[in-house]
Amino acid sequence: MTSRPRPRYRSFVLPVWVAVIGCAGAAWGMSHLASSAAADSFLNLETHILQFETFSPNTMPDLMSEGAAQNLSACESHAQRALLLLEIPLADAALRSGAVGDFDQRVQSLERRARETLTCAPRDPLAWLILFGLQVLHGRIEPGAFDLLAMSYETSPNEAWVALRRTIVATPVVLSAPEPTREKILTEFVDLVGNGFPDIPAGAYLRASPAVRAVLRSRIEQLDSRSRQSFSDALRKLAP
């Protein structure tokens, strides 16, 4: 009996999402969350995730299967955002293990939850970003896919918490983006560096193709010397 092949998805999206969400570190107070049915517990969880705090992934399946998680209204936007962020590393774990059925189920759940979130919160930038990321994951890099990313920019153009996540997903595919979305990706990348957030853009730079790196370098060179130095320091810190 032959083993089932792993899916041929664009594999860079989930791993980098997992890295930035911070789901693989020391355990952070998950025990009471996993047993709580209150929406404010998910609000508390969302706050910690968005601050890049780390927690054990071992409790995530329990939390996702809790009745509270399954029965939450789509209009509990903070809770739905927390669950979206939690499900990404579960999908990544399924992809890495070759569990195709589980991976497909997680991806479908992510898409369903993101779309349901937008029915109540059409200006949720993370939901738009996740829908775009799923398009990239499946290799569907078409001009229409970038409409989803454009909505993420439109609904939250200046918030660091989503900009950091957006640059991870958007930077590798910047050369496929139509204008003006391409310019927004590049501007956000250098703005993050210039505003004192060089580490995540540096990671995105290292994962990018040589052609993308060349474009990014030309933008970084236009920054002030202090910002250029901080970016160089971040590259040295992250380089293998």
Tell me: the pLDDT tens digits for 136-148? Answer: 888 767 768 999 9
Contact indicator for 126, 165 with CB cutoff of 8 Å: yes
Q: What does the pLDDT look like over 119-164, one tens digit per residue?
A: 999 999 999 999 999 888 887 677 689 999 999 999 999 888 889 9
Predicted structure pTM score = 0.75
Token pair, residue 193, equals 């560096």
Phi, psi of 56 (to 5 degrees): -75, 135
> Residue with structure tokens 């236009």?
222
Interhelix angle 181-194/225-238, rounded to 10 degrees, is: 90
Number of H helices, E strands in the chain: 14, 0
Provide the pLDDT confidence category of residue 17 given band limits of 50, 70 and 90.
low
pLDDT at 15: 56
| pLDDT above 80 (res 188) | yes
| pLDDT above 50 (res 25) | no
Q: What does the pLDDT look like over 189-230, one tens digit per residue?
A: 999 999 999 999 999 999 999 999 999 999 999 999 999 999
| pLDDT above 50 (res 113) | yes
> Residue with structure tokens 């896919």?
145
Helix (H, G, I), strand (E, B) or coil at 108: helix
| pLDDT above 50 (res 240) | yes
Domain ranges of the chain: 9-60+75-121
Contact indicator for 211, 204 with CB cutoff of 8 Å: no
